[in-house]
Structure 1
Amino acid sequence: MTAIGARNRSGERGFVIVAVLWILAALSSLAMIFAAYLSASTRAIAVNETALQTEALVSASLELTAYQLALADERTKPPNGAFHFRMDDANVQVAFTSEAARIDLNLAPKEMLAGLFTALGAGKDAALEYADRVVGWRTRPVPGSANEEEARYNSAGYSPRQAPFVHVNELALVVGLPAALAERALPFVTVFNGSPDVDPTIAAPEVIEAMPEKSANKQDPLGGSSAPPNAARPASQPPDAAKKDASTATSPCYRVETTIRFRNGRRTTSEVVIAMGDKAEPYRVLSWQEDIAPRNVVSRRGST
């Protein structure tokens, strides 16, 4: 009995050791899981903090831009500008440009749209067809008549808006317009210009090239002429007349690009379109995009 009792007590001690080992293993696993949870939570908090800081800095850049624009009257309001400021551990660079620098998809004439597509590499005949499709997308159908534009979209599985563009990205939905060409056009178009004209003094070269000729001698954006330098200027047109005409296109909307560089090396760029208002509401946000790619509108040509 004594030997049997000793064996039983030894078995019980072995069972207890195994149970303790299992408990320790379980506690170790729980500790690892909790550590991973804390690490993930810390990262999430850091990301949220950075996102909140970025939003606050972009909002500050909008406030400062609206303040600068509000100080000037309509005649002296700058079409573009830039400034920078520092706040906490961030360096903020801000650039703003009137939407009059871009072609309005809803109001631009067909000739200007075709001119843009040509400037971006499309053939003349193809550019005219693409412009027709853009106009067809934004134009309401005539009641009681055949809707030929809608019929073009039968194979696409969706209907044309046949109303004003809501966003420039709708350009990719226009049937017949190559996706690559639509992508190249995005930096030069808008839905916030509010005018069929553009201001060539701040427009990109592709936009200037898209402008229909207003006379036999096409004027450059600075008021020059394509005529020979010794040619006589008509007496009815003062030397600066063309320059004044070229800069008459204005827009109450501005595109504000904010680039933020944090001390830890992180960099982010946001692009916001605002509409200037009044004293009660200095501005309204029309579009807000974060983490956009740097803009490069110098070379956008391609074969289409």
Structure 2
Amino acid sequence: MSNRVPVVILWAGLLGAAIPGKQVLSAESITPPPTAAEALTRPLTRLKQQLERQELTMGSKVYLRIFKLPERLELWIESRGRFRLFKGYPICCYAGFLGPKLAEGDQQSPEGFYQVRLDQLNPHSRYHLAFDIGYPNLYDTIHGRQGSQIMIHGRCSSRGCFAMGDAAMEEIYCLVQAALQQGQRSVAVHIFPFVPSPANLKKFKRSFWSSFWQSQQPMYDFFESNRQVPQVSVIQGSYTLDQPPPAHLSQLGQHIPKEQQPWLTNAEAPDESTSSAPPMSTAKPSAR
């Protein structure tokens, strides 16, 4: 006679029978992912309350500023001609290290000055909600940098994008979309490795990218001083801060031929609602 204890297969347990102390999941208890409509309406009440407390308005012009260190996205909203900080969001995940993106698939998030237009928004992204930042821009293209579909999106994984998490992305997306729908031609997205203060630039002066980071400092300083989004052009392969016209000429500029207006560096007069170089990308929303 065998002394082995027969093995009993508990089919009921495998089929999800109730076990004391454990929750049994059924098809009805699993929450499906939200639809785009749900994701875009869920934060509205909360946003309106927060905006009212700060005396800001949904649909006002928006500016986004990203610092890889300390992993922060700032969302600024215009009020009475100057931008005010609405909220700082922690970046859940970005790819790579300090320094710009150079090539497709290099697992690196970009740095520089970008624009988001209405046709770059994607409410049906696999990453909850997303918008393409417009990489590569003119500067990137001149320097041979390649890549595509670089987004700010939800979730918390990145192969070159900036992942903000779903709750934060819902707020960011709604405010950007509202501003664009209310007439802002594009939303500036300025991406810095860190705050380009003299102390930080000195700290990283031995980096290969030191001169590139120094070229970003005038744009950062302009916004800090004026709380207005700087106009940025690309001249001879370098980012350049467009200086506003002298005050006594600001009303006369429209009557002076463009070639005689030294304060204009673009082919067209800067649009007040834009905030970086001229349209630099034809990127369209993707499945990301």
When normalised by structure 2's length, the TM-score is 0.26
- Structure number with the higher helix fraction is 1
* Bigger radius of gyration: 1
